Every structure is written in structure tokens, then in C-alpha cells.
Structure 1
Amino acid sequence: MFFRIKPSGGRRYLQIVENKRVDGKVRQVVRLTIGRMDELEASGQLARLLASGARHCEQMMLLSAIENEATMLSMRRFGAPLLFGRLWQESGIAAVLEELLAGRQFEFPVERAVFATVLHRIMVSGSDRACDKWLDDYDIPGTEELGLHHLYRAMAWLGEELLDEEQGDATPFAPRTVKDLVEERLFARRHDLFTDLSVVFMDTTSLYFEGAGGETLGARGHSKDYRPQLAQMILGVVIDQDGRPICTEMWPGNTADVSVLVPVIDRLRSRFGITRVCVVADRGMISAATIAALEERGLEYVLGARERTDRIVREVVLADERPYIPLCLERAGGNETQLFIKEVKVAGKRYIVCRNEVVAIEEAETRRQVVAALDRQLTRGDKALIGNSAYRRFLRPVSDAKPGRKSKLFEIDAGKLAEEARFDGVFVLRSNARISPLQAVLRYRDLQNVERLFRVAKATMRTRPIYHSSDAAIRGHVFCSFLALILHQALDEKLRRAGKRVEWADLLRDLDRLQHGEISQNGKRWQVRTEAGAAASAAFKAARIAMSPRLQTPQQAVA
């Protein structure tokens, strides 16, 4: 079947016609007369009819355009700039950057350069060196003239040190910089009478450098990335009880975790006006001096304790024979976790012991498999086993071993196995907060939000590795990942409020497939866009962003 225009009495009629063989000859059979062409064109009914049918056969629409020598003038991705550009404005980041840039004589749009870098970090990650080429494929208003040197200068501005008179809240490890002003003004914008920072969560990680690592930030230290041969820096992130990132702190790579908690909390109180605060942090930040300093300042804390290396915890707290209290905690997805909790006080110090039976079973099974593999290996030879940390902790030297080629030097230590079983599914908290044991456990569990942020920053947005050579550019580079986390969390919150669940990878893929451009045909120009996928559609609805029609004239687009 096909369309045919039938002249009749000075008028033209649009018909749907089918070729059929009748008596051995092909004849055109009219299936439907749609109407007069002049009326259909004037009323727009013909355009609507064809557009409606084209939805069911987009391939033919493209073939028709090619056959009629249509010219594609441009095609660029617009989904990510549209979505995250809205969040960029709503979060106040754009306004804060413009405020801080007032009076500075940059010859390029610094705010646009920062946004482009943040968006690049969200979509494809990688180094800033690839960002300027990546920009060519994206429709980001205001970035048309940006080059790589502009992006580097924007990073250096974010990490630029403030004047000496503005260094009052600096930690012993790092100076105050422009990025600190951004954090403080962002917090001030969302601060109101109901804003509560009484609970803050903090954790740290390490980021390694491919180059020298700046003037002071790059140093050798304990690498959580298992890259001890590379210079690194320490990154700390602080979030509030709602999971919103508050600020990020950066120190040289040889700074110990136990030395940073108190200076950071002191700085938080002065920067953000916190009066009463409960600090929630992991066991890596615990030391006697840290706890004493927190108590001296009148601060509350919920800190993870070292079950194996703290003698009081190992010999007194875990030996307490009072019964546990069973509790059920709801997890994401509606599932429940069964916990057993009890409170133990030793010399005025408050400990909360928690046991997760499901985790206990998993850890016991893992140990059983390790021991089984160890037993098999011992029959083949035991000298190489001592270099395996998973095996070494379950071995002991054979007391009556005799020098010789086939003599066993090590054997499985049953006592170590029994001692290890005491810790299956157990974690211990140290707290002075005026809250119930259940509340303490819930607050400590919320510390996982910080760990999730680190996973997003390091895996999805690839803050690491870092190639910049100056401290200022390094701080700016890492801070752009922090700004990306703010947008990530803002979108998560909108989706949650809208009752929608979207996989992050699916969303990024859908956003990257959204493209728009112009087609020129017979002297006319049309703006077209691709169809939005399910994940992108859900995100746009949650952010209250209306999509443009798939086909419109440039004049309609401007209007």
C-alpha cells in the first residue's frame, strides 16, 4: 500500500491505494480516501497522521529522509547536561561559584569549566586531559570555546589557597582554599531553623598519583588501594544524617587516620556553627588520645572498637556473660537483619556488643573453606604457606620438627581457630552518647553511606589516579568529584521521593543515548531528538524536567 494524490475537479485528494492483480493485470485499488490535500495541510491533520504512523516505523522515516537528500546538520548529546544542569542550578553550586568569581578577571567562563569537568566525571570519568575532547559531543551551553588549559586553570582556582587572614580554621595538615568557601556557602544556602548537623559521619580513604603528587600532598603511606610504591594523598569525607555530603578534607599521604579526627571536628564546629555534635567514625580513627580529646570538648561519639587488638574489648567486654537482646533492623528492599545486642560497662566506659548471626555463619563457612584448603596444602609442603596472610594466622610451628626435606615445619593451630570463632559476626562500639544501644547501632550502620560515597567516587567517577602536578590543581580535581557526589545524592533524593528506583549504569547509558540535532530538507530545517529510555524518563520526571517534542521547527524550539 502507498499514498496517492488524485486530482478531481481542480482539487487534489489524498488516498491510500493498494496494487492488486485482477484478471492477470495489476490494478490500483483505493482502500481509503483521507481527504482534500489543501484542508489536510491547513489543519495540520496530515502532519499529525504521518507523525503518528512514523512512531511505528522509524526505519522508513530515516530511509525517506535519505532518499529525499535530507542533510543532518548536527547531532549532539543533551540528556546529561539537561538533567544535571538542572540539579547544578537547584543545588546552588552555580550561584556560589559566580559569587566567588565576582571581581576576578578570568577571560573564560570558570563556572562552565567546573560544570563541564563535574559532568565528565559523572558520565565517563577518567582524567581531565580527556575532558576537552569529550566536550565536542555534548551540548553544554557556554562551553563552546573551552580548551584543556581552561579546565586546568579552573581546577587550580578551586584549590587556590586563601589569604593569611582567612586561614583561621585551617587544620595542621592542609590550608584553607577556595573549595572550602564553596562548601561553606553551599551549606549556608540550605541551612534553616530545621537544619540539623548534630550527627556527622566521617571516613577516609587514600588516592594515589601517577605523577609526583604536588608539592606537599603526595607522600608514601599506608595505601588502601594496595599501591604502596606510589605517592598518595588522604581524602576524608563528612556527611550529615541524611546522607548529604558536607565537606571534604585532604591531607598528605603519610597522615595517620587517628590524628585527623579531632582537628576536622574542631574545624567543622567553627566552619558550620555546630554546637552539639555526635561523631560517628570507624575503628581506624580510634586512639586513647582521640577519645580523650573528644570528651574534653564535650563531644558525643559512636566509634568502632578494635575487637582483636584492644585488650579490654577482647578479654573483658567479649567475655561478659550477660544475655543478648534480639533486635530486627529493616534493610533496603524491605528485608530484615537479625541482631543481638548488649551493653557492657567497664570502668565507666560504655561498650555496645553486636552479633549478626547471618554474618557469623558466613564467616564460619569462609574460615572452614580456608582451613580445608590449608590442610590440603600442608600435605604438599608447608614452607610457602607462611607468606600467605590468610593461612599464616591459623598456623603454628611444629615443636618437635626435625630438619629434613620432608619434615613438617607448621601445623594448624586449633587454639587460634577457636579464638577466631569468638569474633564471628561480632562488632563492638565505644560510645558516650546519651542514646540507646539500638540508636547507637543505627547511627554506626549509617556510616555505610560514607563508604558508599567512596565507592562511587573511586569506582564510578574514578577520582583516581591523579596526574596533576600542583597541590592547587589536585585539590580542585578531587573537589570536582565531591561536587559530582552532591549531584548524585540530589538525584537519588528526588528519585526516592518520587518512588522510583533507577540503576545508575542504566541511567547513564540512557542519558548518553539522548541526542538532538537539525535536519535540512527542501530548504526547511527541523529539530529532532532520539527517544528517551525508561531510566532517563524516570529521572526527568523526578526532577520535573519536561522533554521537548521529538520533531519541531527551530522557531518552535526557541519559543
Structure 2
Amino acid sequence: MRENDPSMHVAKIERRHGDRVYTSYLVRRSVREGKKVRHVTVANISRLPLAAIELLRRALAGETLVAPGEAFRVERSLPHGHVAAVLAMAQQLGLPRLLDRSPSPERSRALAMILQRVLEPGSKLACTRALAQSTLAGELGVEGVDPDGLYAALDWLGERQERIELRLSRRHLAEGTLVLYDVSSSYFEGRSCPLLARGHSRDRRRGSLQIVYGLLCDPEGRPVAIEVFPGGVHDDKTLQSQVERLRRRFGLERLVLVIDRGMVTKANLDALAKEEGVGWISALKAPQVKKLVREGSLQLSLFDELNLAEIESPDYPDERLLVCRNPLVAAERARKREDLLQATEALLAPIRARVQAGTLQGQAAIGLAVGAVLNRRKMKKHLELEIDDDRFDYQRKQAQIAEEAALDGFYVLRTNVPAQELSAAEIVRSYKTLAHAERAFRTLKGPELELRPIHHRLEQRVRAHAFLCLLSYYLEWHLRKAWAELLFDDECPPVAHDPVAKAERSPTAKRKASTQRTTAGEVCHSFPSLLRELALTVRSKNSVPGSDASFDTVTELNTTQARALALIAQT
């Protein structure tokens, strides 16, 4: 090597003196003299910052160093983690093939709407905007889709509802299984849809136009099918069409239908009796329970020490009646009734004072004032009123209150399923699974999926919208199941020895609720907050200045994000 060769390097020299180590950095040039190499020191750079020394070392080694802004430019950054999670679960469930066996633009758009409703529910117009605000549109190849394209995909999905529900039933409904069925309603914006009518509103929107829909679920609460009815249809009028669907369309020869007491009418029981292999579990209404007590079929004294007993009544031939008493429910109803009575009396007292003072006179005027108060708490049945032109008084109907209080905490289940198939305890547990369908309605109608309010005008689109929400809930149900350890949900709900007793959460779930931490010590999440946590993982598109080259980078996952994706892969 020649003396003037410009090749140089940075050498790190360490010298030990006693317990101390002295480090110096030298810029050197290596010179070969025959068979020997001699190092010539060019400069001592020990006083430079370590970062500067490292840059100099890399430059002398031949690397080309540029400023970060000159190396590449971040063109776009979009939330990606939550999209990766829902896409992974959709693939695990085979959701694309569930919609249709063959790929198509309509399938991709329908899938995008299902997934987007889980991520951020909204209208179809809002969906087009939201798709562009995450990586979902790019992942599914639906960039630039407009509302008309989504409406066309919604129509496409509605046409395939029967086939998709049949595939779901084959997955989750086996012969002889429990099938949960319940009904709810949702209010409507607009007046032109032929399904609209006024009826009993579960949304507390009395007098609003609405639709009614019935939901079929498997024993664990997975949604299988949904049917939309006109808003004025009563619950019991929807049952026979569901039996027809289960028997004829889904091909189930044996099943046990768990239904709410409002659907049990003579016509429905007669129809169910004609269906061989169809069992059912429901409950008696309050007047029917009172009649059992009056006739002596139900002896309340038996439940001083028991909370479950099976009785018989000539009014219910070929049926089993299971009487349950929950002391906690009894105490809660007694407390609530007393609170309502006291609140009503507190509002009636000023009216009585006005009548006594002569500032409120006339039977009609007094009656209007009293009626307005009684309508607030619905306690008229427990109060005896005396209204005259110049007199008003009230007192409690103690005997009637005592008669009602005696039945606090009691409920009676009825079923045609024989004891050799389901024991009394199993009947009670089966009826309690109807809570899964009620939770499904809360999720469908709540901020998680926002089935309501409904803005569509065409009947087929209203039905398709409800079905789209069902598929979104199907996806969310499985996500919640997979993420149970990260959520406040109970990972392993204990099965109580006493089927009537109040359900208790497991010690692990109670600990999560009190400490706000998972068993691994991470922050515990709700389902929406976990999606927001995942959305912090960002995918960026980077371009290289002066060329057409580009590349993507994804934010490094934190512990919670990595665990959430791993749990999906394990399902």
C-alpha cells in the first residue's frame, strides 16, 4: 500500500491502568511495508460524541450517509393493527367463502362493510369515507368505492341470505341442540318503507315507526339467522316461521327451542305439538303463576328451604312445571317496589296539601293532577284513592301488596321436554341461556354495531341491512371469545352447583375488574378500547426521492397488540 493511499478507518484503543479502562478513538491509515502492515495515526477523535464517531466510522468504511429526509419520504400513514385483527379473524372463520365461493367485487365490498361495521359503525356514506381512513380498503381491493357500489353489494348480500344462514346452521346447529330465539324492535327514520308500523317499542320510543326482527342463536349465543317483520307484528306471530325455517330449510329433525314467555300462546303450542321432535322451554306469565297459587298447585310454603321444585297442574297437561325462587331477586323487587311507592307518595303529598288549602278544587282537576303523578311510577294498582270536589286522600292497599310480595323472586318454567332428556337443573340452565340472545340485541342496537336508527327506504335493503349487522356480530362474537383474557370478559365462567342461584363471575374475572389488569399484568380493555389500541399500529408508505421505488413499514407491536393477534391465530 502506498504512503499516500487515502484509505482510512477508525480504531478503538483500550488501555487498562489498575482498575480503570481508558478508551480512545483514532483515525488511522494502514500502510503495507513489504510483509508488514504499519498503522499511521491521522487524528485523535476521542473527544467527539460517540454518535459522531460512529458516523465517521461508517463513512470511512464506505457507507453513503444521508439525512433521514433525503433517504426516503413518508407519503401516507394509515391505522392498520385493528384492520389486521378483523381480517385475520375473518379468514379464520372462512367468512369470505361463507359469503360466496367465488371472489368478486361484490363479495369484497360486502366483506368490507361487515368488517368496517365492527371497526367503526355508520351509514353506507360514512363507510366509504372510513374505508379510506385505514388500510382496510387496500387490503380488500375496494379503494375508491362509492355509496352506489356499497348499496349494490348490500343488495347482492341480501340475495344470498338464505344460503349463508344455511351454512351457518350447518356449522353451529347439530341434531337435538338447543336453539335460542328472541324478538326485538328498532325505530326507523323515514316513512316510505312498507315494513314500517307502530307497535310495542323496546327502544322506549313510544309512537315511533319501527321494524321487528327475530334472532336465532346457538346455545353459546352465536347468531345463525335473522328475520325482519313489519313493525306492528306481535312476538308470538313470529314463532311459527322460525320453526318452519329450522325444520324445513335447515333440516333439523330434533331440536329444543328456548323462547320468551311472550311467544307462548295456544296457537303456537298447537303448532309446536304437530312438529314431531321439537321440544321447547319457556316460562309462565305472572297471572298464570298467581292462578297456580290460588288453585293450590303451587304451595309457597314449600320454598322456605327449597329454591327449585317440579309441580303438576291440570291446566298444563303433558308439560313439566319447574318452580324457581331466587332470594336475591325477591329482595331487589321488594326494595324497588318500596322505593316506587315512597316516590309516588312524595309526589301525591303536595297535591293533598293543595286540596286541603283550597288552591286545588274540583274532582276533574284533582284527578288530572293525580293521574299525571301515577303515570310516572305506575303504582296506581297499589294505592287506594279518594277523590271528591274538595277532598283528596290516598292509602296503600296493604293486602294486595303483601299478596304480590309473596311471589317476589318466583318464576315458573314450562317445557314439554321429558325428564330423561333434560333434568330440572338442566331445564333451568337452558332457559337462562336466553340471556345470550338478549346480549346479542344489546350489541346489535348499541354503539358497537348501530343497527339503529335505520335510514333505508326499500324493504329488501332493510332486510339486508339487518343481515349485514348479524354477520358483523358473528365476527365480533368470535373476536370477544378469542380476546377474553385481554378484556373484562370472564375467560372461564364457572357453572354454579345451584342452577337457580345468581351467576357468579370467576375469581380471575373479579380480579381483572378490581385491578384493571389482565392476569399477565397488562392493562385490561373493553372491546372498543382494544380496537383503538390496535389501531395505534400504523402502516406507512415510503418513497425514495429521485426514483420510483417505494416500500411499506409497519409500527412495531407492543405486548398487548402482539398478544391480541396471537390469540386470533390460536382460535
TM-score range, shorter-chain basis?
0.7 to 0.9
| Greater displacement, 201-210 / 220-229 | 220-229
Q: Determine the C-alpha separation between the residues in 1 that align with 2:329 and 2:242.
A: 33
- Match among 422, 430, 434 for residue 447 of structure 1: 434
Contact residue 221 and residue 440 of structure 2 kept, 8 A: no
- CA 379–432 in structure 1, closer or farther in 2 if over 3 Å, else same: same
- CA 237–403 in structure 1, closer or farther in 2 if over 3 Å, else same: same
* Alignment-derived partner of residue 75 in structure 2: 73
Query: Which amino acid is 1:75 matched to?
Result: S
Contact residue 14 and residue 34 of structure 1 kept, 8 A: no
Shift of 1:31: 6.7
Shift of 1:326: 7.0
Note if 1:378 corresponds to 2:362. Answer: no
Structure 1: unaligned runs, 5 residues or longer:
1-6, 19-26, 48-63, 103-107, 161-177, 328-339, 547-559
Q: Secondary structure at the match of 2:131?
A: helix
Query: Which amino acid is 1:11 matched to?
Result: H
- Match among 360, 373, 377 for residue 330 of structure 2: 360
Query: Which amino acid is 2:217 matched to?
Result: I
Q: Secondary structure at the match of 1:28?
A: coil
| Greater displacement, 261-270 / 315-324 | 315-324
- CA 40–479 in structure 1, closer or farther in 2 if over 3 Å, else same: farther
- CA 480–75 in structure 1, closer or farther in 2 if over 3 Å, else same: same
Query: Which amino acid is 1:76 matched to?
Result: L
Note if 1:28 corresponds to 2:47. Answer: yes
Shift of 1:297: 1.8
Note if 1:118 corresponds to 2:114. Answer: yes
- CA 197–209 in structure 1, closer or farther in 2 if over 3 Å, else same: farther
Q: Deviations over 1:204-261 (max 9, x none)?
A: 10022101252x3222221111223332111111111232221111111111111211
Note if 1:506 corresponds to 2:529. Answer: yes
Shift of 1:302: 0.8
Q: Determine the C-alpha separation between the residues in 2 that align with 1:36 and 1:264.
A: 77
Shift of 1:282: 1.0
RMSD (Å) for aligned C-alpha atoms:
3.6
Shift of 1:518: 2.3
* Alignment-derived partner of residue 256 in structure 1: 234
* Alignment-derived partner of residue 483 in structure 1: 471
- Match among 375, 378, 389 for residue 387 of structure 1: 375
Q: Please list, as runs of the form range in 1=range in 2, the aligned pairs for 1:91-490 lying within 5 A after superposition.
A: 91-99=93-101, 109-140=105-136, 141=139, 142-160=141-159, 178-188=160-170, 190=171, 195-196=174-175, 198-212=177-191, 214=193, 216-298=194-276, 299-308=278-287, 312-313=291-292, 315-316=294-295, 319-321=298-300, 323-324=302-303, 340-347=307-314, 348=317, 349-381=319-351, 383=370, 384-398=372-386, 401-404=387-390, 407-434=391-418, 435-459=422-446, 460-490=448-478
Query: Which amino acid is 1:145 matched to?
Result: G
Q: Determine the C-alpha separation between the residues in 1 that align with 2:480 and 2:112.
A: 21
Q: Deviations over 1:427-477 (max 9, x none)?
A: 221111122111111001111010111111110201001111111111111
Shift of 1:320: 1.7
Q: Deviations over 1:76-123 (max 9, x none)?
A: 122233222222233233113333x78xxxxx7111111121122112
- CA 123–213 in structure 1, closer or farther in 2 if over 3 Å, else same: farther
Q: Secondary structure at the match of 2:388?
A: coil
Shift of 1:374: 2.3
Q: Determine the C-alpha separation between the residues in 2 that align with 1:325 and 1:37.
A: 88
Q: Determine the C-alpha separation between the residues in 2 that align with 1:290 and 1:296.
A: 10
Q: Determine the C-alpha separation between the residues in 1 that align with 2:483 and 2:327.
A: 33
* Alignment-derived partner of residue 551 in structure 1: none
Q: Determine the C-alpha separation between the residues in 2 that align with 1:297 and 1:224.
A: 31
| Greater displacement, 317-326 / 461-470 | 317-326
Query: Which amino acid is 2:261 matched to?
Result: R
Q: Secondary structure at the match of 1:469?
A: coil
- CA 275–79 in structure 1, closer or farther in 2 if over 3 Å, else same: same
Query: Which amino acid is 1:439 matched to?
Result: E
Query: Which amino acid is 2:134 matched to?
Result: Y
Q: Determine the C-alpha separation between the residues in 1 that align with 2:271 and 2:60.
A: 82
* Alignment-derived partner of residue 38 in structure 2: none
Q: Secondary structure at the match of 1:211?
A: coil
Q: Secondary structure at the match of 2:182?
A: strand
Query: Which amino acid is 1:223 matched to?
Result: S
Q: Determine the C-alpha separation between the residues in 2 that align with 1:301 and 1:220.
A: 30
| Greater displacement, 217-226 / 306-315 | 306-315
Q: Secondary structure at the match of 2:378?
A: helix
Q: Secondary structure at the match of 2:310?
A: strand
Q: Determine the C-alpha separation between the residues in 1 that align with 2:347 and 2:470.
A: 46
Contact residue 240 and residue 246 of structure 1 kept, 8 A: yes
Q: Determine the C-alpha separation between the residues in 2 that align with 1:213 and 1:90.
A: 40
Contact residue 198 and residue 208 of structure 2 kept, 8 A: yes
* Alignment-derived partner of residue 361 in structure 2: none
Q: Determine the C-alpha separation between the residues in 2 that align with 1:476 and 1:123.
A: 19
Contact residue 510 and residue 533 of structure 1 kept, 8 A: no
Q: Determine the C-alpha separation between the residues in 2 that align with 1:41 and 1:441.
A: 78
Q: Deviations over 1:106-148 (max 9, x none)?
A: xx71111111211221122122221111111121221113111
Q: Deviations over 1:277-310 (max 9, x none)?
A: 1110111111122122222323211102212356
Q: Secondary structure at the match of 2:89?
A: helix
Q: Determine the C-alpha separation between the residues in 2 that align with 1:183 and 1:419.
A: 47
Scaled by the length of structure 2, the TM-score of the pair is 0.74
Q: Deviations over 1:181-207 (max 9, x none)?
A: 11113334x37xx94452100001002
Shift of 1:515: 1.6
- CA 515–255 in structure 1, closer or farther in 2 if over 3 Å, else same: same
Note if 1:528 corresponds to 2:553. Answer: yes
Larger Rg: 2
- CA 539–30 in structure 1, closer or farther in 2 if over 3 Å, else same: closer
Q: Determine the C-alpha separation between the residues in 2 that align with 1:115 and 1:269.
A: 29
Shift of 1:505: 1.9
Q: Determine the C-alpha separation between the residues in 2 that align with 1:8 and 1:378.
A: 103
Q: Secondary structure at the match of 1:381?
A: helix
Query: Which amino acid is 2:110 matched to?
Result: V
Structure 2: unaligned runs, 5 residues or longer:
14-22, 26-45, 353-369, 492-517, 519-523
Query: Which amino acid is 2:388 matched to?
Result: K
